[in-house]
Structure 1
Amino acid sequence: MNNIFKLVSNYFRMFFAKIFKNSKRKLATYTIAIIVLIVGLVFSFIFTLLSYYNISNAIKLEVPEIAIYSFATTMIMFAFVLIITESGNNMKATDEELLLSLPINKRDIVISKILYYLLFDFLLVLIVLFPSYILYYVMVKGTSFIFVLRGLLQLIALTLFASGISGILSCLLILATKKFKYSKVIQTVFNMALIITFAIVYLGFMLVSQNVSYASKIYDLAIMQFFKNFMLYGGITNYLIICIIPIVLFSISVIIRSKSLGKNITTYHSKKIECNYTPSKISKDLFVKELNNYMSIPIYVTNTIMGPILTLMLAIVILISGKNSFISMIEAIIASGYEGPMPSGIMPVVIKNFDVTIIFVMFLMQVLAPTTASSISIEGKKIWILKAHPISYKDVFKAKIKVNFMVNLFPAVLTSIFLSLALKNFWYIPLLLAISLLLVLLSSIIGLIANLLFPKLSWESEVEPVKQGISVLLTMGIDFCLIAIPLLFYFVLNITNTYLFFGIIILIYTLCVLILSKLLYTKGVKLYNEI
C-alpha cells in the first residue's frame, strides 16, 4: 500500500511539474486553467439545472423518487462513456522497464497506474453528477444527509466499475487480436462499434423519454429499482452489492493487467520477404501516415470522434421528436423555478431564440475535441524522424488538419441537414454547412497551434497527450469561447434577422481562419523547428 501511495503521488507531482515547468508560460498556463475551470463549471451548472427540473417536477407530482431514476439513468450513461473512452487504453507505458527493475510488486505498479488515471475520471464525475444529490437533499423535505453520502459512494462505485470493465475489455481485445497484422485497427473498430452502440442507446432513450408510458417501463427495470432502493433505504444487501461488484471487477482487471505487464503481447510476424515500393506524392503519403497513426490508437479515436457522433444523434432526436418537445421541456424547467405562474413574457423569448441556441450548442459538441490538439504530442520522441526528412512543414500541417477534417466531415454534413429539417427551415442547410465546416477547419488550426505551443512529447501512455495535455484543454477553452461569444452577442444585441447573423458569423470565422493560417505558417513554423 505504501508503494502504491508513493507511485500515485509521484505521478501527480510529475503531472503538475510538466504543466508549470516553463516559467515563461506560467501566465498562459494559469489562463488555461481558469478557462477549463469555467467550462467545467458551465457543464456542471447545466447538469445541475436539469436535475433541478427533474426534482421540481417529481415534487409537484408528489413522487420525488422519480428524480432518482433520472440520476440513475445519467449515471449509467456516464458509466458507458467512461468504459468506451478507457477501453482503448491498454495501459502500456514507457516507464514499464524502469518500474519493473525496482523492488516493487507488479500488482502495485498496475494499481497505482490505474488509480492515477481513475482519479481524473472520478473528478469529472464528481463535478458533473454529485451536485444533483446535494440538490435532492436540499429540495426534498425529510431527506437525511446519509442520502448525499450514498450518492458519493455510488459515484465511487461507478468509477471503479467502469475502470474494471474497460480494463477487462481492453485486455481481452488485445489477446484476441494479437496475432493479426492490423490488431490496433481492429481494436479501434471495436471501440467505434461501442461508440455507435452508445449513440443508438442514447438516441433510443431520448426518444423513449418523450413518452411517459415507455419511460415508466424503463423505471421498472431491476437495475433502476436497485438504485432507487439503495439511495432511499440503504440496506446491508444493497451496500454489499454496490461495493463488492465494482471491487471484484476492478480486482480482475488488475490481475489480468499484472499478468501482461512487461510482456510483448503482439505475436504477429510477417512472412513477406519482398518490399513493394510505389512512388507517390509526399502530401498523400503524409496523410496516409497520419490516418494510420490515428486509427492505430484506439483512445485517440474514441476521445475525438464521440462528439461528432453524439451531435449527429441529437440532431436525429430533434428531427424525429420535433423541436416543440424540446421547447416544452425548457418551459417546464423554467416554470419549476417559480412558485406561482411563470411570467408570460419568458416563453416568447425562448421560442424566438431556440433555433440559434440549439445550433450553437451542437456546434460546440462537434468541435470541442479536434484530433490536431494532440497530433504533435502523439508523435512522442519519434518526431525527430519526421523532422529529419526533407518534408515541407506545410505538408506536415496540412496532413494533420486533413485527418481532423475527414473525421468531422460526414457527421458535420448530416448534422447540418438533419438539424435544418428539424427546425423546418430549408435555407439553414447551406448556412449551417458553411459555419460547421469553417468551425471544423478553425478548430483544427487552433488545436495544431495550441499543440505546437504546448507539446507533450515525453509521455508514459497515450492517455496523457490525448486527455491530459495542456494543448487539449486550451483548444477546448478557445473553441468554447468561439461558440459562446457570438451567441452572447446575439442575445445582448437582440438580433432578429438570423440569416444576417449567420452571414456575419461566416465572415468572422473565415477571417479567423485566414489570420490563424497565417499565424500557423509563421509562428507555428518557428515553434515546430524548436521542438
Structure 2
Amino acid sequence: MNQIYPLVSIFEKAVCQYNIIAFITFLLISVIWYYVFVKIVSIKYKAINNGLTTYQTKSNYKLQSLKVTSTFMALHRKEIKRFFSSYLYVLNFGMGAVLLLIMSITCFIFGVDKVQQIVGMPNIKPIMINFVPFVMSGMLAMTCTTAVSLSLEGKNLWILKTAPIEAATIYRSKMSVNATILLPISLLSSLFMSLCLKPTIMPAMWMFVTPLAYVAFTCVWGIFINLKMPNFEWESEVTVIKQSMASVIGILGGMLFGFIPMVIIFILPGVDRNLIMGVITLAVIGFTSFLYIKVCGTKLP
C-alpha cells in the first residue's frame, strides 16, 4: 500500500501511534497538494467549464417542416402509456381479451375434433358456430378499460377541465385506447375460430361483425358508466381499478350483454340463426350509437 500511496505510512503513525509530528506532516502535505491542484485547475477552469456546459451546433442546419400532433393523438398516447404503466390496470382489464386470444389459438391448433373429445359432446361444431360469436363478444367486453379511465385522472382532472379541449375529444381518446387494445384481438380471434370451425359465409361473417360491434359497445359503455359513477378522491389506484362500482358494472355489464343473446338463441331453436344474429348485432350497434351521442354531449364531471 505504501508503494501505491506513500502517505499511508505517515497516516498510520499519526492515527495508530498518536504521533503528532506525523499528523502535522500528513496534514501539511495534503493541504499543499490540494492548493497546488486548485491553482493548476484554476488556470484552465474557464475553458474546462465551457467545454462541459456548452455545445456546438452544425453550421449546415436546414429548417425543415415540424411534425404537429393533434390534441386527440396526444391524449391517445397519454392514455396508452397510462394503461400499460399500471400492472393492475392491465391485469384487471386485459385478461378477458388475452384469454379469448389463447382460446381461439388453442382451438385452431387442436381443431374442432379435439375440442369435441375434450368437452365430451359429439357434433359440437354447429353449437359452437351459433354461440362462439357471443362467447367472444362477452370475453371482449371484459376488457372495458374506459370504465375507470376517467376516475384514474383523479385530482389531476382539473388539468383537462382547464385545457382548451372539448370533453368529447377526451372521451374519444379514452375510447380509442380501448378500441386499440380490442380490435386486433377481436379480428385475430375471429380469424382463428373461423379457420377452426370452417363455417359457411353468413356464420363466418357474424363471427367477425358481431364481436366488432361489441368492441364498439364496450368502449362507449365504459365511459358511460364512469360518467355515472366517477371517483376522483382516491389515494390508491387499487380503489378505482378493483373496488369501484364503475369497474364492476363496466366488466360484468358488458359480459351480460354478451351472454344474454346466447340465452335467446337457446330458447328460440326454431328461428333462423342468421336472423337472430343480425337483429342482435344491429340492436347492439343502435344502442352503442345512442350511448355514444349521449356520452359526447356530456360535460366533464
TM surpasses 0.5: yes
Structure with the bigger RCO (C-alpha within 8 Å, sep 6+) is 2
User: What is the aligned-residue identity percentage?
Assistant: 28
Letter in 1 for 2:99: L
Is 1:280 aligned to 2:69, yes or no? yes
1:82-123 Cα distance to aligned partner (Å, 9 max, x none): xxxxxxxxxxxxxxxxxxxxxxxxxxxxxxxxxxxxxxxxxx
Aligned residue runs from structure 1 range 251-262, under 5 A: none
Question: Could you say if the C-alpha distance between residues 324 and 464 of structure 1 is closer, same or farther in structure 2, counting changes exceeding 3 Å?
Answer: same
Is 1:327 aligned to 2:102, yes or no? no
Aligned residue runs from structure 1 range 278-317, under 5 A: 279-317=68-106
In 2, are the aligned partners of 1:369 and 1:472 still within 8 Å (CA)? Answer: no
- State the 1:473 CA deviation: 0.6
Which of residues 121, 140, 143 is equivalent to 1:369? 143
Is 1:356 aligned to 2:145, yes or no? no
- State the 1:306 CA deviation: 2.1
Question: Could you say if the C-alpha distance between residues 284 and 448 of structure 1 is closer, same or farther in structure 2, counting changes exceeding 3 Å?
Answer: same
1:118-154 Cα distance to aligned partner (Å, 9 max, x none): xxxxxxxxxxxxxxxxxxxxxxxxxxxxxxxxxxxxx
Q: Distance in 2 between matches of 1:319 and 1:284?
A: 36
Moved more, 462-471 or 294-303: 294-303
Q: Distance in 1 between matches of 2:97 and 2:270?
A: 28
Aligned residue runs from structure 1 range 399-438, under 5 A: 399-425=173-199, 427=201, 428-438=203-213
Hey, what does 1:32 align to over in structure 2?
Answer: none
Aligned residue runs from structure 1 range 56-135, under 5 A: none
Letter in 2 for 1:400: K
Stretches of structure 2 that go unaligned for 5 or more consecutive residues are 1-52, 56-65
In 1, are the aligned partners of 2:136 and 2:211 still within 8 Å (CA)? Answer: no
Hey, what does 1:477 align to over in structure 2?
Answer: 252
Equivalenced residues, count? 237
Question: Could you say if the C-alpha distance between residues 355 and 429 of structure 1 is closer, same or farther in structure 2, counting changes exceeding 3 Å?
Answer: closer
Q: Distance in 2 between matches of 1:484 and 1:298?
A: 28
- State the 1:449 CA deviation: 0.9
Q: Distance in 1 between matches of 2:166 and 2:126?
A: 50
- State the 1:363 CA deviation: 2.2
Hey, what does 2:233 align to over in structure 1?
Answer: 458
Q: Distance in 2 between matches of 1:353 and 1:375?
A: 37
SS in 2 for 1:459: coil
Question: Could you say if the C-alpha distance between residues 318 and 279 of structure 1 is closer, same or farther in structure 2, counting changes exceeding 3 Å?
Answer: closer
SS in 1 for 2:120: helix
Hey, what does 2:30 align to over in structure 1?
Answer: none
1:397-422 Cα distance to aligned partner (Å, 9 max, x none): 10000000001111111000100111
Q: Distance in 1 between matches of 2:89 and 2:251?
A: 16
TM-score (norm 1): 0.42
1:198-247 Cα distance to aligned partner (Å, 9 max, x none): xxxxxxxxxxxxxxxxxxxxxxxxxxxxxxxxxxxxxxxxxxxxxxxxxx
TM-score (norm 2): 0.72
SS in 2 for 1:322: helix
Letter in 2 for 1:291: I
- State the 1:448 CA deviation: 0.6
SS in 1 for 2:235: coil
Which of residues 510, 513, 517 is equivalent to 2:285? 510
Letter in 2 for 1:319: F
1:149-199 Cα distance to aligned partner (Å, 9 max, x none): xxxxxxxxxxxxxxxxxxxxxxxxxxxxxxxxxxxxxxxxxxxxxxxxxxx
SS in 1 for 2:232: coil
SS in 2 for 1:494: coil
Q: Distance in 2 between matches of 1:362 and 1:431?
A: 11
Stretches (4+) displaced over 3 A: 328-332
- State the 1:352 CA deviation: 4.0
Q: Distance in 2 between matches of 1:432 and 1:355?
A: 8
Q: Distance in 1 between matches of 2:153 and 2:140?
A: 24
Q: Distance in 2 between matches of 1:476 and 1:445?
A: 12
- State the 1:353 CA deviation: 2.5
Letter in 2 for 1:403: V
SS in 1 for 2:165: coil
In 2, are the aligned partners of 1:303 and 1:466 still within 8 Å (CA)? Answer: yes
Q: Distance in 1 between matches of 2:166 and 2:270?
A: 45
Aligned residue runs from structure 1 range 15-94, under 5 A: none
SS in 2 for 1:433: helix
